Structure 1
Amino acid sequence: MKWHHVQENWPAFYDAIIDRWPQADEADLDEIDGDQRAFIAYVAGMNGQEPAEAREEIREWIVGELPSDVVMDPRHDNHSITLSAKYVGEGEDESDDDARFGDDAKDG
């Protein structure tokens, strides 16, 4: 994952941040608001590290998975649908109606 994923979805990462850095505080995270430099300084301050050490620690943390709140964000739907095309049979469209599976809303 890239920092822009974190920045664009900052609150969705709070649990992952607190899991990695248990001493982190949500009020402080609200203030940081996804600013990478501020977060590096925050982590460095919490751990008594140099900023370069904190930057590396954060870089290692970013290698992890995106939180489900981010993955399930509707803004990602079209991209996910496009990626699913490799699993759709020949002659079918990955955006086709899937009413035959019983999960589409019924009109009426």
Structure 2
Amino acid sequence: MKWHHIEENWAAFYEAIVDRWPDADEAELDEIDGDQKAFIRYIAELTEQEPADARDEIRDWMRGELPSDVIMDPTHDGHSIAASSKYVPEGEDEYDDDARFGDDEEEDE
């Protein structure tokens, strides 16, 4: 994942941050508010490391999965749908429902 995913969805990463760094405090994470340099300093202090080592540890953590709150975010979905347009045949709208999947109109029985 990229830092902009974290910055744009900062609160959604709290659980993942606390899972990785159990001593992290949500009130302090609120103050950081997605600022990458502040987060590096915070993790360096929390883990008693040099900032460069904390930065490397954060980079390793960033190689993980996006939290489900971020994946389910409508902004993320819209971006994913727009990015899928390269796989949609010319003349077809990637935002249209596709009736061939059979879920557009269900018959009442």
User: Shorter-chain TM-score: which interval?
Assistant: 0.7 to 0.9
**DSSP-derived class of the 2:24 partner:** coil
**DSSP-derived class of the 2:18 partner:** helix
* Matches of 1:15 and 1:35, distance apart in 2: 17
Match of residue 101 from structure 1? 103
Tell me, yes or no, if the aligned pair for 2:82 and 2:94 is still in contact at 8 Å.
Answer: yes
Note the C-alpha offset of 1:83. Answer: 4.5
* Matches of 1:5 and 1:79, distance apart in 2: 12
Matches within 5 A, 1:53-72: 53-72=53-72
Q: Does 1:14 align with 2:14?
A: yes
**DSSP-derived class of the 1:101 partner:** coil
Q: Name the amino acid aligned to 1:96.
A: D
Q: Name the amino acid aligned to 1:101.
A: D
Tell me, yes or no, if the aligned pair for 2:3 and 2:36 is still in contact at 8 Å.
Answer: yes
Relative to the length of structure 2, the TM-score reads 0.80
* Offset from partner CA, 1:28-51 (integer Å, 9 cap, x none): 100111111111111111111000
* Matches of 1:60 and 1:37, distance apart in 2: 16
How many residues align? The count is 103
* Matches of 2:105 and 2:53, distance apart in 1: 49
Distance change in 2, residues 1:96/1:25 (3 Å): same
**DSSP-derived class of the 2:23 partner:** coil
Q: Name the amino acid aligned to 2:19.
A: D
Note the C-alpha offset of 1:65. Answer: 1.0
Matches within 5 A, 1:22-101: 22-84=22-84, 86=87, 93-98=93-98, 100-101=102-103
Relative to the length of structure 1, the TM-score reads 0.80
Gap regions ≥5 residues in structure 1? none
